[in-house]
């Protein structure tokens, strides 16, 4: 395909650099500097996709990021495919593979287009009204059907092959938009030496100046002024210019998020990222985001070949492309006349059809007529001719009485429509600024700012070039703390339009398909129906009809939709209000948001000093908060069940070794350390002797268990506190909070020492014999070193805090050594224990062994609503203490009431049945639904040492139910289980003191 619609000269494309790409398999050529849209139009391709709901043929409507219809899937190679790219935004690059979307089997012949014939049934709320009954169809029939029939492009299935970067930046002034207003603002702001960042979403800065024709600024052609201004800005050290960068979010305290498209337009990125997420904290933000042209609402206004008028001008002037040879401009305002004049100058056959009366027009009328453009004033548009491409525009005069005169079809292959302009207030609105309605402009414009922000130029409804430049300059200077002004001399701008909601027509309104939201296929009729059905709030109309809810967020459609609602309700437009603008301004890739935080960097992973040894010995791991913990150590051929059973037996029969390094550890130090501990824990601490340990139980102020762990008093003023693995940070925060805010008078300081110490638990009857040869300076005999004692000494020559403690119920030691010695000491213990068959075990075995002993795990037996008494630990509470955190709450009426859930053991009648953790417990399985639930299973295992399955549960008044039979839910129905003591093994606790 040759570029038949490319003008022989003109435009900003580089004609010396042809670029080829494919569209639906056909090879197409354009030039460097083209977008996909301009290259397609240069080759006469208007029909590029099917619409969302009705599968109607759709073309390119816009030249900018507001494009609602021309959405293409674009591939830059394997793993580099994404859907829903706006053709008017994607820069042309050699080798792009592009395809149209939302059709089957092909763009030209689409089965789904039958929806268009049935459009009378696809009215607003169609899905809500239709897919209701039977309920069983919701998941299996309706949803798959709706998903298959509707929707945009197909999500890629391959991992993203690209790299994404992120960057934080600070500046004094951030200028959003580099059209004339923004450039003037950047010039003025940077005069003062302040740090300025100026960004623009397009491939080159300039905004509307990029498609200027006869405009002049300070006596120079606009293009020359643009070039000089950019050179001037570029030369300033304090200015960063970022083209291809979209500000998509404006958050609190001038925190602005933007994406820079770094390399999509180049063939060899040379290692540079695809996109960069910028998070900018700006002293002041100048929003010069311009304005969006409104389409006109008339029958079949969505035919390929119908564009926005200013976009026709942009394609002609900026890209040197004539979107049609016979172009009709349908307008209700002045700006389209300039587009008509430029298209005429480029060689098109041009007619203007203006809704306004001749007397209502400004100088544009004479200017167009002088240029040889035929103008029909006081003409409405009734509809279009053509299906996959517009072939004619049906217009008719509007008589003085308001009636419609005789129709006439203007033959054409392109229509440029203009219903006026809407300021781009999205970012202002995101900044939580208040919008104000300006009747003369027929638009919401920025009213009261909520942050250090100024909106200027077309973004606040100023469409005159000289005024935009002057106000931009003044705003830029002021934002930088100055007060400079500059009077720009420019050519006159054609401004002014007559607001129109729906073009007057003599057609039967029930049959007219006049699109308001092109992307979500919402017509004026749909919105009127919604209002008739009782939806009055614009927020409800929006959700019911889905107008403005597509990926373009209604950039082109919002004002028309609001206007129709207001008209239908017979209310002034401002009283209808506007919907909320939310980030992102334009669709943002997940890649940019995720940045480098993927794969191994997705979430930090904590490993212990012994981790690699476990990996080398075949351990399976489980995540516990950010830690990876050895779960079990299967031998060849063993499954988890077999491995855990072997490990459990080995600990009780000989000796096992376990990596407890993840245990949270806090050192509490200072003259008031004991007093602080006394206030934080339920237990008494003042009389605990150095060298002794105590099981500590910590409550929240509401009386519920927060954490537990063994605490050793190392010295009178020093405690070595351990916490649960997942609770370490929570406990430290809890302690710090009280220390800093309630008792700042206590002389105590807290240090997290979790990472300082590796912890090796050696458990089992042979534990002492295993470590004895390695330990010096400590007498390990039971008399000298009883259960719940702690000694400082050396193991393998390394300093150790050696705890005699046990979470298994066996004779046990927890050996703390500085983390760097962890692996060496572990290996020495492993070697020493080999003659006793030492067995490394993981968290699963640890869980089973402690459950055999009825030891709770905070977060498993407790859930934030469990008191010490509920889990049988009331005995831990120091009765004599007047106060500790949570004590007063233990007297709250519902914490002392009967009927609380208490920790018990459960034996299923079937000893091989391992109940499900979380399963509900009832007294009578035959009671009517909803049943009274007594509690639930908290822990459940197959116990090789007990010789059957065991479970822990919390059950209402559980301790009074010993021996009772209860019923537990299982996937196959209720299972019988009897309530037993929660200590299943060595109930007398003799082994621990061996």
Partner 1 sequence: MLLIDCPCCGLRPETEFRCGGQAHVARPATPADVTDKDWSEYLFVRENPRGVHAERWIHQHGCGRWFNALRDTVSDRFVETYPMGGDPKSTTTETRL
Which positions touch partner 1 (CB under 8 A)? 251-255, 279, 281, 432, 434, 448, 450, 701-702, 733, 736-737, 740-742, 744, 882-883, 887-889, 891-893
Question: CA 413 to CA 407: how far, in whole Å?
Answer: 19
Contact 352, 331 (CB under 8 A): yes
Tell me which residue of 917, 933, 916 sits closest to 863, measured CA to CA. 917
**Nearest approach, Cβ of 608 to partner 1 (angstroms)?**
23
State the nearest-atom distance from the C-beta of 666 to partner 1, in Å: 13
The CA distance from 284 to 479, in Å, is 6
SS3 string, 192-236, reads: CCCCEEEECCCCCCCHHHHHCCCCEECCEEHHHHHHHHHHHHHCC
In the bound state with partner 1, the residue whose beta carbon lies nearer, of 737 and 777, is 737
Asked if 321 and 7 touch (Cβ cutoff 8 Å), the reply is: yes
CB 989 within 8 A of CB 807: no
CB of residue 700 to partner 1, shortest distance in Å: 9
**Shortest CA distance to 949 belongs to which of 848, 858, 846?**
848
Minimum CB distance to partner 1 smaller for 234 or for 701 = 701
Quote the CA–CA distance of 168 and 145 in Å, as a whole number: 44
Query: Of 616 and 883, which has the nearer Cβ to partner 1?
Result: 883
Nearer of residues 580 and 741 to partner 1, judged by Cβ = 741
Please give the Cα distance from 889 to 911 (Å, whole number): 40
Residue 155 makes CB contacts below 8 A (sequence gap 6+) with: 83
Q: How far is the CB of 954 from partner 1 (least distance, A)?
A: 23
CB of 402 vs partner 1, minimal distance in Å = 44
Tokens of 353: 């059809």
Nearest Cα residue to 376 out of 361, 363, 391:
361
Q: Do the beta carbons of residue 643 and residue 730 sit within 8 Å? A: no
3-state percent breakdown (helix, strand, coil) of the chain, nearest 5:
25, 30, 45
- Given the complex with partner 1, which of 39 and 890 has the nearer CB atom? 890
Q: Which is nearer to partner 1, 518 or 884 (CB)?
A: 884
Q: Which of 566, 540, 556, 519 is nearest to 297 (CA)?
A: 556
Based on CB atoms, which residue is closest to partner 1, 228 or 736?
736
Shortest approach of partner 1 to residue 274 CB, angstroms? 24
How far is 365 from 133, CA to CA, in rounded Å? 58
Q: How far is the CB of 249 from partner 1 (least distance, A)?
A: 10
Name which of 843, 808, 848 is nearest 940 in CA terms: 848
Q: Smallest gap, in angstroms, from Cβ of residue 554 to partner 1? A: 25
Nearer to partner 1, 237 or 883 (CB): 883
Nearer to partner 1, 247 or 952 (CB): 247
- Cβ nearer to partner 1, comparing 388 with 432: 432
Instruction: Please tell me the distance from the alpha carbon of residue 790 to that of residue 775, in angstroms, as a whole number.
Output: 13
| The token pair that represents 263 in the structure block | 């390399």
The answer, yes or no, to whether the previous bond of 327 is cis (omega within 30 of 0) is: no
Smallest gap, in angstroms, from Cβ of residue 892 to partner 1? 6
- Closest to partner 1 by CB, 489 vs 736, is 736
Point out which residues pair with 629 in neighbouring strands.
622
Instruction: Indicate the residue among 676 and 803 with the shorter CB distance to partner 1.
Output: 676
CB of 583 to partner 1, least distance (A): 12
Toward partner 1, which CB reaches closer, 566 or 735?
735
Looking at residue 836, the DSSP 8-state letter turns out to be: G
Contacting residues for 388 by C-beta, under 8 A, at least 6 apart: 47, 57, 108, 304
- Rounded to whole angstroms, how far apart are CA atoms 870 and 867? 5
Torsion angle defined by CA atoms of residues 231, 232, 237 and 238, in that order, rounded to the nearest 10 degrees: -120
Closer by beta carbon to partner 1, 35 or else 451: 451
Three-state secondary-structure class, residue 712: strand
DSSP code, position 600 = G
Distance CA 158, CA 171 (A): 38
Minimum distance of partner 1 from residue 166's CB (angstroms)? 13
> Alpha-carbon distance 668 to 752, whole Å?
9
- Closest distance between partner 1 and the C-beta of residue 246, in Å? 19
Nearest distance in Å: CB 333, partner 1: 34
In angstroms, the Cα distances linking 591 to 56, 154, 242, 277 are: 32, 17, 19, 9
Q: Nearest distance from residue 623's CB to partner 1, in Å?
A: 22
């Amino acid at each position: 395909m040759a570029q038949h619609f490319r003008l022989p000269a003109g435009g900003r494309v580089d004609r010396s650099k042809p670029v080829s790409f494919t569209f639906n398999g056909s090879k197409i050529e354009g030039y460097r500097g083209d977008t996909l849209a301009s290259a397609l139009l240069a080759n006469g391709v208007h029909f590029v996709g099917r619409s969302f709901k009705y599968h109607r043929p759709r073309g390119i409507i816009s030249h900018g990021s507001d494009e609602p219809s021309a959405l293409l899937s674009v591939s830059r190679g394997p793993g580099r495919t994404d859907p829903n790219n706006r053709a008017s935004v994607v820069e042309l690059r050699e080798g792009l593979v592009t395809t149209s979307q939302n059709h089957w089997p092909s763009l030209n012949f689409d089965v789904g287009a039958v929806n268009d014939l049935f459009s009378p049934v696809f009215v607003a709320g169609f899905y809500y009204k239709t897919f209701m009954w039977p309920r069983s169809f919701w998941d299996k029939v309706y949803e798959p059907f709706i998903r298959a029939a509707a929707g945009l492009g197909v999500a890629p299935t391959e991992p993203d092959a690209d790299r994404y970067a992120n960057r934080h930046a600070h500046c004094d002034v951030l200028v959003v938009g580099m059209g004339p207003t923004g450039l003037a603002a950047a010039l003025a702001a940077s005069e003062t030496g302040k740090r300025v960042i100026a960004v623009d979403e397009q491939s080159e800065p300039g905004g509307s100046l990029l498609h200027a024709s006869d405009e002049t600024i300070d006596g120079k052609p606009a293009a020359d002024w643009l070039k000089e201004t950019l050179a001037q800005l570029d030369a300033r050290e304090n200015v960063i210019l970022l083209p291809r960068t979209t500000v998509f979010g404006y958050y609190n305290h001038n925190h602005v998020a933007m994406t820079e498209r770094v390399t999509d337009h180049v063939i060899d990125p040379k290692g540079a990222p695809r996109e960069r997420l910028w998070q900018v904290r700006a002293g002041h933000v100048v929003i010069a985001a311009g304005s969006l042209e409104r389409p006109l609402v008339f029958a079949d206004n969505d035919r390929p070949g119908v564009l926005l008028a200013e976009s026709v001008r942009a394609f002609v002037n900026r890209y040197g492309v004539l979107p049609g040879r016979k172009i009709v401009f349908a307008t209700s305002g002045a700006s389209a006349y300039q587009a008509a004049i430029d298209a005429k100058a480029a060689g098109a056959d041009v007619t203007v059809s203006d809704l306004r009366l001749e007397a209502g027009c400004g100088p544009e009328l004479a200017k167009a007529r002088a240029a040889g453009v035929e103008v029909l004033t006081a003409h409405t548009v009734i509809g279009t001719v053509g299906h996959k491409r517009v072939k004619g525009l049906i217009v008719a005069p509007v008589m003085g009485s308001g009636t419609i005169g005789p129709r006439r079809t203007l033959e054409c292959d392109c229509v440029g429509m203009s219903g006026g302009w809407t300021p781009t207030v999205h970012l202002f609105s995101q900044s939580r600024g208040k919008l104000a309605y300006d009747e003369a402009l027929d638009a919401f414009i920025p009213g009261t700012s909520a942050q250090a922000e100024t909106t200027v130029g077309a973004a606040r409804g100023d469409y005159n070039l000289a005024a935009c430049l002057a106000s931009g300059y003044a705003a830029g200077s002021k934002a930088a703390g100055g007060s400079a002004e500059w009077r720009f001399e420019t050519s006159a701008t054609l401004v002014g339009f007559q607001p129109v909601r729906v073009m007057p027509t003599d057609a039967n309104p029930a049959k007219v398909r006049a699109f308001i939201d092109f992307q979500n296929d919402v017509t004026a009729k749909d919105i009127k129906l919604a209002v008739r059905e009782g939806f009055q709030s614009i927020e409800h109309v929006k959700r019911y009809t889905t107008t403005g809810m597509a990926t373009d967020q209604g950039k082109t459609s919002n004002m028309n939709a609001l206007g129709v609602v207001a008209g239908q309700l017979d209310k002034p437009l401002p009283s209808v209000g506007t919907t909320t603008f939310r980030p992102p301004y334009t669709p943002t890739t997940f890649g940019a948001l995720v940045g480098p935080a993927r794969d191994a960097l997705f979430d930090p992973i904590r490993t212990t000093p012994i981790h690699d040894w476990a990996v080398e010995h075949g351990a399976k791991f489980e995540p516990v908060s950010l830690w990876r913990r050895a779960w079990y150590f299967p031998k060849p051929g063993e499954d988890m069940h077999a491995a855990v059973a072997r490990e459990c037996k080995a600990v009780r029969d000989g000796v096992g070794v376990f990596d407890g390094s993840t245990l949270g550890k806090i050192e509490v130090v200072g003259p008031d350390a004991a007093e602080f501990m006394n206030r934080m824990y339920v237990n008494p601490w003042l009389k605990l002797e150095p060298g002794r340990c105590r099981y500590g139980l910590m409550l929240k102020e509401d009386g519920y268990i927060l954490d537990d762990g063994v605490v050793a008093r190392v010295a009178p003023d020093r405690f070595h506190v351990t916490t649960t693995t997942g609770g370490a940070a929570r406990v430290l925060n809890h302690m710090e909070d009280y220390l800093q805010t309630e008792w700042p008078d206590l002389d105590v300081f807290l240090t997290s020492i979790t990472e300082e110490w590796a912890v090796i638990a050696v458990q089992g009857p042979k534990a002492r014999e295993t470590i004895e040869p390695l330990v010096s300076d400590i007498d390990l005999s039971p008399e000298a070193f009883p259960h719940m004692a702690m000694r400082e000494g050396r193991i393998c020559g390394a300093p150790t805090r050696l705890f005699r403690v046990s979470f298994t119920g066996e004779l046990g030691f927890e050996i703390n050594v500085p983390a760097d010695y962890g692996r060496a000491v572990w290996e020495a213990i492993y070697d020493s224990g080999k003659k006793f068959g030492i067995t490394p075990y993981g968290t699963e075995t640890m869980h089973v062994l402690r459950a055999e002993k009825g030891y709770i795990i905070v977060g498993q037996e407790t859930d934030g609503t469990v008191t010490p008494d509920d889990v049988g630990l009331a005995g831990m509470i120091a009765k004599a203490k007047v106060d500790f955190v949570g004590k007063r709450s233990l007297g709250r009426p519902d914490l002392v009431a009967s009927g609380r859930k208490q920790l018990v053991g459960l034996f299923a009648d079937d000893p091989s049945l391992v109940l499900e953790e979380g399963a509900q417990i009832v007294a009578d399985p035959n009671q009517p639904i909803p049943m009274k639930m007594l509690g639930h299973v908290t822990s459940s295992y197959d116990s090789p040492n007990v010789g059957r399955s065991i479970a822990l549960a919390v059950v209402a008044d559980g301790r009074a139910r010993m021996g009772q039979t209860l019923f537990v839910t299982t996937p196959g129905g209720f299972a019988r289980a009897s309530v037993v003591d929660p200590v299943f093994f060595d109930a007398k606790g003799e082994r621990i003191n061996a």
